[in-house]
Structure 1
Amino acid sequence: MSPLPVDAAPPPLRLIAPSLPRRMACWLYEGVLLFGVVFIAGYLFSALTQTRHALDNRHAQQAFLFVVLGIYFTWFWHKGQTLAMKTWHIRVVDRRGEPLTQARALWRYVLSWSWFLPPLVLREWLQLPALEVLVLLGGWIAVWALLARFHPERQFWHDAWAGTRLVDSRTLPMRVAP
Structure 2
Amino acid sequence: MQATKQATEQAPELAPKQATTQAGRPAPVATPSIRRRVTAMLYEGLLLLAVEMFAVALYMLVTWNSQHPVAKEGMKVYLLLVTAGYFMWSWIDSGHTLAMKTWRIKVVKPGCARVPFRTAALRFLLAWGWFLPALLVCWAFELHGKGQIAAAFLVGIAAWATTALFDKDRQFLHDRLAGTRLIFLPKP
Q: Same fold (TM over 0.5)?
A: yes
The reply to whether residue 32 of structure 1 matches residue 46 of structure 2 is yes
Residue 83 of structure 2 is matched in structure 1 by 69
Q: 2:143 aligns to what?
A: 128
Alignment match of 1:23 (pick from 19, 24, 37): 37
Cα contact 2:106–2:183 (8 A) shared by 1: yes
Aligned partners of 2:69 and 2:149: how far apart in 1?
Answer: 19
Count of aligned positions: 164
Cα gap change, 1:152 to 1:96, in 2 (>3 Å):
farther
Say whether residues 1:157 and 2:173 are aligned partners.
yes
Is the CA contact 1:92–1:100 (under 8 Å) kept in the aligned structure 2? yes
* TM-score of the superposed pair, with normalisation by structure 2: 0.79
The residue type paired with residue 51 of structure 1 is: N
Q: TM-score scaled by structure 1?
A: 0.83
Distance 1:80 1:34, change over 3 A: same
Contact 1:90 1:166 in 2 (8 A): yes
State which of 153, 169, 172 in structure 1 corresponds to 2:185: 169
Residue identity (%): 35
**Partners in 2 of 1:17 and 1:82 — Cα distance?**
17
Aligned-CA RMSD value: 2.3
| 1:84 aligned partner | 99
CA contact (8 A) 1:80 1:93 kept: yes
Seen in structure 2, the aligned counterparts of structure 1 residues 91 and 144 have a Cα distance that, compared at 3 Å, is same
Letter in 1 for 2:51: V
What's the counterpart of residue 95 of structure 1? 110
In the alignment, the residues of structure 2 paired with residue 22 and residue 97 of structure 1 have an alpha-carbon distance, to the nearest angstrom, of 25
Assess if the C-alpha contact under 8 Å between 1:13 and 1:97 holds in 2: no
Cα distance change, pair 69–148 in 1 and its aligned pair in 2 (3 A): same
Aligned mates of 1:77, 1:87 — CA distance in 2: 14
8 Å Cα contact 2:108/2:182 also seen in 1: yes
Per-residue Cα deviation, 1:54-100 (whole angstroms, up to 9, x for no partner): 98733221110110011110110012111101100100001347421
Which 5+ residue runs of structure 2 have no aligned equivalent?
1-8, 10-23
Is structure 2 residue 154 aligned with structure 1 residue 138?
Answer: yes
Is 2:59 aligned against 1:45?
Answer: yes
Give the counterpart of 2:128 among 100, 107, 113: 113
Judged with a 3 Å threshold, the aligned counterparts in structure 2 of structure 1 residues 15 and 106 are, in CA distance, closer, same or farther, namely same
Q: Residue 143 of structure 2 aligns to a residue in which SS?
A: coil
- Aligned residue for 2:186, secondary structure, equals helix
What amino acid is aligned across from residue 52 of structure 2 in structure 1? V
